[in-house]
């Protein structure tokens, strides 16, 4: 299986994602440049975290018009696996591949810390290696992670089981106190209706080896590999 | 800028939609209260863009600016906009 990690101007988690896939998950991986005209036959495309275009205008608003994003949108429409992490999630929402938008954290602070998230839907290409209700310890690092969607959209997310991760406490209780940024319904990650596009604010690539404080991020990458191998 | 050369100026106002939380606005409001200002009911923050552009004979300036607002300047999930074109 081959992964591609897109580098936008201002991406800064590109190498973390690359290394997690190459050395921990041990899969083929290559960088894709935001001006590339193709996805180099990658089976899964990762939009990494960072501050593409300095977060100017709105997070992800300018990166969304990169030439590679045309290919990403076609790829996603054809069922290709796409993962947006943090700024990557914001780009996917701006591109219309995922519903909703991010507001500033209610604290107005940049929050960088380990949080716990609960797997709400294990029937996705990104979570099949974990169990429903499993609690993962993965860090967040963002200013704009306060997920918002109008009520009708929220209802659709619930009805279609598109809420993949929710912020929770250590034992899996989804509480107000465990919500770091004000996200609607503690939402930390969602997928599209066809389940091939994932967006999540926490950084699994920063939690893929025990020496980093947690290796729970592996569940996400390993799920993708398992899903891909099963389909072959 | 030099409006003699056929340039026009549009001013675009972008606001959060009603009902969308505005953490910046509410923080500014509490700062004002701490400063002793009373009777401030609400603050909603927003953005302004001044766009100087070349007049295009084939296209109404309103249509052009509206398209720019929809395509890039605003996110319709959370934001609304209005604009004026100054002669």
Q: Note the pTM of the prediction, 2 decimals.
A: 0.94
* Domains defined for chain B, CATH in brackets: 3-86 (3.30.1280.10)
Instruction: Flag whether pLDDT at A82 surpasses 90.
Output: yes
Among B72, B73, B78, the residue with its CB nearest the CB of A103 is: B78
pLDDT of residue B55: 84
- pLDDT tens-place string over residues A38-69: 999 999 999 999 999 999 999 999 999 999 99
Average pLDDT over residues A146-169: 98
Of the partner residues B21, B72, B73, the one whose CB lies closest to the CB of residue A103: B21
Q: Which of A69, A83, A64, A91 is nearest to A192 (CA)?
A: A83
Q: Which residue in B14, B70, B77 has the most chain A C-beta atoms within 10 A of its own C-beta, making it the best mutation to test that interface?
A: B77
Residue B70: helix, strand or coil by DSSP?
Answer: helix
Taking residue A231's Cβ as centre, other Cβ atoms within 10 Å add up to: 8
CA distance A151 to chain B (A): 11
Candidates B24, B72, B73; nearest CB to A108: B24
The span from the CA of A76 to the CA of A82, in Å, is 7
**CB A60, CB A10: distance < 8 Å:** no
Number of domains in chain A: 1
Q: What pLDDT is stored for residue B2 in this prediction?
A: 54
Among residues A56, A48, A42, the alpha carbon closest in space to that of A12 is found at A48
The residue among A37, A33, A95, A67 whose CA lies nearest residue B72 is: A95
Res. A24 pLDDT band, cuts 50 70 90: very high
Query: Cα(A61)–Cα(A93) distance, rounded to whole angstroms?
Result: 9
pLDDT at B3 over 80: no
Q: Which of A172, A72, A170, A192 is nearest to A124 (CA)?
A: A192
Cross-chain Cβ contact B21/A148 below 8 Å = yes
- Write the CATH number for A36: 3.40.50.880
pLDDT recorded at residue A232: 60
pLDDT higher than threshold 70 for residue B23:
yes
C-alpha A48/C-alpha A7 separation (Å) is 8
Q: What is the 3-state secondary structure (H, E, C) of chain A?
A: CEEEEEECCCECCHHHHHHHHHHHCCCEEEEEECCCCCCCCCCEEEECCECHHHHCCCCCCCHHHCHHHHHHHHHHHCCCEEEEECHHHHHHHHCCCCCCEEECCCCCCCEEEEEEEEECCCCCCCCCCCCCCCEEEEEEEECCCEEECCHHHHHHHHHCCCEEEEEECCCCCCCCCCCCCCCHHHEEEEECCCCCEEEECCCHHHCCEHHHCECCCHHHHHHHHHHHHHHC
Contacts of B22 in chain A (CB under 8 A): 103
CB contact under 8 A, B78 and A148: yes
Average pLDDT of the residues in A105-122: 96
Token digits for A166? 């929710």
- B interface with A, Cβ–Cβ < 8 A, is 20-24, 27, 72-73, 75, 77-78
pLDDT at A169: 98
Which residues 6+ apart lie within 8 Å of A47 measured at CB? A6, A8, A72, A82, A83, A84, A85, A87, A88, A89, A91, A92
| Per-residue pLDDT band at B56 (split at 50, 70, 90) | confident
**Hey, are the CB atoms on A106 and B21 less than 8 Å from each other?**
yes
Q: Are B77 and A150 a contacting pair, CB within 8 Å?
A: yes
- Tell me what ipTM this predicted complex has: 0.83
Mean pLDDT of A124-137: 98
Instruction: Compute the nearest-CA separation of B9 from chain A (Å).
Output: 20
Domain span including residue A43: 2-231
Question: Which residues make Cβ contacts (< 8 Å) with residue B20, sequence separation at least 6?
Answer: A103, A148, B78, B79
* Active site amino acids of A: 86, 203, 205
Question: How confident is the model at residue A179, as a pLDDT?
Answer: 98
Predicted confidence at residue A50, as pLDDT, reads 97
Nearest residue in B to A61, CA atom: B72
């Amino acid at each position: 299986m081959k992964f591609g990690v897109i580098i936008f101007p201002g991406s800064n988690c590109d190498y973390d994602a690359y290394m997690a896939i190459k050395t921990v998950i041990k899969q083929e991986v290559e960088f894709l440049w935001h001006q590339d005209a193709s996805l180099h036959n990658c089976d899964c495309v990762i939009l990494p975290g960072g501050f593409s275009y300095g977060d100017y205008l709105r997070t992800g608003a300018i990166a969304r018009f990169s030439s590679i994003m045309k290919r990403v949108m076609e790829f996603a429409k054809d069922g290709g696996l796409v993962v947006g992490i943090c700024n990557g999630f914001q780009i996917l929402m701006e591109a219309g591949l995922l519903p909703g938008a991010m507001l500033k954290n209610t604290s107005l602070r940049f929050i960088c810390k380990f949080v716990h998230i609960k797997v709400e839907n294990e029937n996705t290409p990104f979570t099949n290696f974990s169990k429903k209700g499993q609690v993962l310890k993965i860090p967040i690092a963002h200013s704009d992670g306060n997920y918002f969607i109008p009520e009708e959209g929220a209802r659709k997310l619930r009805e279609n089981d598109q809420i993949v991760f929710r912020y929770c406490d250590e034992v899996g209780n989804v509480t107000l106190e465990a919500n770091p940024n004000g996200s609607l319904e503690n939402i930390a990650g969602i997928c599209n209706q066809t389940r091939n596009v994932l967006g999540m604010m926490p950084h699994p690539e920063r939690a893929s080896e025990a020496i980093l404080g947690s290796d729970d991020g592996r569940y996400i990458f390993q799920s993708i590999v398992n899903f891909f191998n099963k389909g072959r | 800028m030099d409006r003699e050369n056929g340039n026009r100026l549009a001013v675009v106002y972008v606001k959060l939609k009603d009902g969308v939380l505005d953490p910046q606005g509410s923080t500014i409001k509490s700062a004002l209260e701490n400063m002793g200002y009373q009777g401030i009911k609400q603050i909603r923050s927003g953005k302004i863009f001044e766009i100087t552009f070349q007049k295009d004979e084939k296209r109404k300036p309103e249509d052009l600016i509206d398209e720019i607002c929809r395509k890039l300047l605003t996110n319709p999930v959370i934001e609304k906009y209005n604009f004026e074109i100054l002669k």
